[in-house]
Amino acid sequence: MPGAIYAEGLVKTFGDVKALDGVDLDVPEGTVLGLLGPNGAGKTTTVRCLTTLLRPDRGRAQVAGLDVLKHPNEVRRSIGLSGQFAAVDEYLTGRENLQMVGQLYQMKSKAAKARAAELLEQFDLTDAADRTTKTYSGGMRRRLDLAAALVVSPPVMFMDEPTTGLDPRNRQLLWDVVKDLVSGGTTLLLTTQYLEEADHLAHDIAVVDHGKVIARGTSDQLKARTGGERVEVVVREREDIATAREVLAGFGKGETTVEEHTRKLTVPVTGGAKLLAEVIRELDVRGIEMDDIGLRRPTLDDVFLSLTGHAAEPGDGRGDDEDGTGKAKAKETAV
């Protein structure tokens, strides 16, 4: 039986751009799927197709047991959606925005008021509740948008980059809300550029690139697939980075990645502690001072990098900028 969210062969083209090129998904009821992928991979388009905002050119999808193409209105009543760009009415206050959503879902006025107050409290917006949202900061708007998605407790929720632009405390707050929701039986599809978030919340992860699911599994399964260990070095002096990179290349089983601003170099290796000792000796011989060096297991960031050839780049959540941002792009490494 298909899960609470099910998609088969979704295709969507915009002009020359094939945004979706046959996306398949299956999310069992009461679980969280983390949809990861570089900018422009097709995450938002997938969410829009599944939430009836966009009609796919081909393929089929079911949400909460309902066919998305045949019964869009019923599907809309069974889902909650928080989009990549906060959708709040600027001229209403935070409280009015939430009450309005309640009324759209046919809640009685008293119940809608009570629910709005509860959510404002939960998302730490009580003090700002009676100001028009025009005066809200980006993070406040984002929180209000998330609260709006939770006015009714739908069986299936979609959150597109829910914590982009939130500070660490508010991100934690949202994670707690999500965990509560899921323990209450909600099924959630979440897109994120924060791999720690996927690691933390998602039962299962699907990596999307160029409109296709290119890998699927639990975080541990994906890490195991990426394989091996990593040697991570932080050199003391920035000018030693190039030499250190040369040394690591001699020991590595793949591309060395460099984070200039933290002076950190990482390379996949096999050979464990013995190899680590050799690396340390060689760096020493070359006269490179180290602030830190160690061996570690692959993280979800390594998985993402080796699968897509991009480092995850939490942005400001604005736009499909695929390139030209001047942000460091890592080169592809072999899986």
Ligand X SMILES: Nc1ncnc2c1ncn2[C@@H]1O[C@H](COP(=O)(O)OP(=O)(O)OP(=O)(O)O)[C@@H](O)[C@H]1O
- Interacting residues toward ligand X by CB under 6 A: 14, 17, 19, 37, 39-45, 84, 320
Q: Which residues bind Mg ion (CB under 5 A)?
A: 43-44, 84
Structural contact between residues 284 and 252, judged by C-beta atoms closer than 8 angstroms = no
Q: Quick one: what does residue 298 bind among Mg ion, ligand X, none, with the CB cut-off 5 to 8 Å set by partner type?
A: none
Least distance (Å) from Mg ion to the CB of residue 321?
11
Q: How far is the CB of 100 from Mg ion (least distance, A)?
A: 26
Q: Which of 156, 159, 153, 154 is nearest to 143 (CA)?
A: 159
Smallest distance from the beta carbon of 16 to ligand X, in angstroms?
9
Q: Are 23 and 212 in contact (CB under 8 A)?
A: yes
Give the CA distances from residue 236 to residues 250, 252, 263, in Å, rounded to whole numbers and listed in that order. Answer: 20, 21, 7
- Partner that binds at residue 42, options ligand X, Mg ion, none, CB closer than 5 to 8 Å by kind: ligand X
Residue 44 or 99 having the CB closest to ligand X: 44
Nearer to Mg ion, 205 or 288 (CB): 205
* Residue 37 contact among ligand X, Mg ion, none, beta carbon within 5 to 8 Å by kind: ligand X
Q: With CB cut-offs between 5 and 8 Å by kind, which of ligand X, Mg ion, none does residue 17 bind?
A: ligand X
Residue whose CB is less far from ligand X, 46 or 62 = 46
Shortest Å distance, C-beta 261 to ligand X: 22
Q: Which does 93 bind (CB under 5 to 8 A by kind): Mg ion, ligand X, none?
A: none
Q: Where are the alpha helices (DSSP H) in the chain?
A: 43-50, 72-78, 94-104, 109-122, 138-149, 168-183, 195-201, 219-226, 241-251, 272-285, 300-308
The residue to which tokens 């993280």 are assigned? 299
Helix axes 94-104, 138-149, angle to 10 degrees: 20
Tell me how many helices (H) and strands (E) the chain has.
11, 14
Nearest distance from C-beta of residue 66 to ligand X, angstroms: 23
By beta-carbon proximity to Mg ion, the closer residue of 39 and 299 is 39
